[in-house]
Chain A
Amino acid sequence: DVKVTQSSRYLVKRTGEKVFLECVQDMDHENMFWYRQDPGLGLRLIYFSYDVKMKEKGDIPEGYSVSREKKERFSLILESASTNQTSMYLCASSLLVYEQYFGPGTRLTVT
């Protein structure tokens, strides 16, 4: 069974803080993704990585950066958290693009 884990289920941060969200997968997948999910908007892709140290911007990369130093780990960084980044953040990994395995999500609240 593929397992994707995320560092926190719930996180509360203050405006302006730097925030790190970690994601680890145990299936040796090449592809890893970060999404945010907001009511009525569906999942929106923030960043994608197809290999170590490789990254591609998704639909909404502004205000975010990512790091992939090891194949199994993909980190999302909010450089200076803002209230409009309050959301559910979902990490996913895949061998085939269409069959993505998601982590349990991190509900981030920025106050």
Chain B
Amino acid sequence: RKEVEQDPGPFNVPEGATVAFNCTYSNSASQSFFWYRQDCRKEPKLLMSVYSSGNEDGRFTAQLNRASQYISLLIRDSKLSDSATYLCVVLNSPNDYKLSFGAGTTVTVRA
């Protein structure tokens, strides 16, 4: 079983729509969670951390559900520039050096 699993999509949504997708992780002891964003033919970049209480960054909302071992990302009022692949990332312990990356969920926002 993969450590981090994501629905690859693609999620095709019109501008202005809300899109949400999940990521599941297999290690119940995992400590920290993040979303990275990777534009087409570009390198991944940290989008946001995911806190236990949930957090927002502008139009982006991240949630963590430890009981069911998944994290989610919701994008409100989608823009064309939100088109990207979103990578779910897990850090198993604060002393760990290794991030576990999901294969990514592709979102395409159309005009």
Contacts and interface: CB of A to CB of B under 8 A. Distances in A.
A58 interface: yes
Interface string B78-107: 000000000101010000111101111000
Interface in A66-111: 90, 97-105
Range of interface residues on chain A?
Answer: 20 to 34
A97 B91 contact: yes
Given A43-B87, A105-B43, A98 B49 contact: yes
Interface of A: 31, 35, 39-45, 48, 50, 56, 58-59, 90, 97-105
Contacts of A90: 43-44
12 contacts: A42-B102, A43-B44, A59-B98, A90-B44, A97-B91, A97-B97, A98-B91, A100-B99, A102-B43, A102-B45, A103-B43, A104-B43
B42 interface: yes
A78 B103 CA distance: 24
A105 B104 CA distance: 17
A42 B32 contact: no
A102 B96 contact: no
Given A42-B101, A43-B101, 16 more contacts: A40-B8, A40-B103, A42-B4, A42-B103, A42-B104, A43-B44, A44-B101, A45-B98, A48-B98, A90-B44, A97-B91, A97-B97, A98-B91, A98-B99, A100-B44, A100-B46
Interface residues of B, number: 21
B25 interface: no
Contacts of B99: 45, 97-98, 100
Nearest to A39: B103
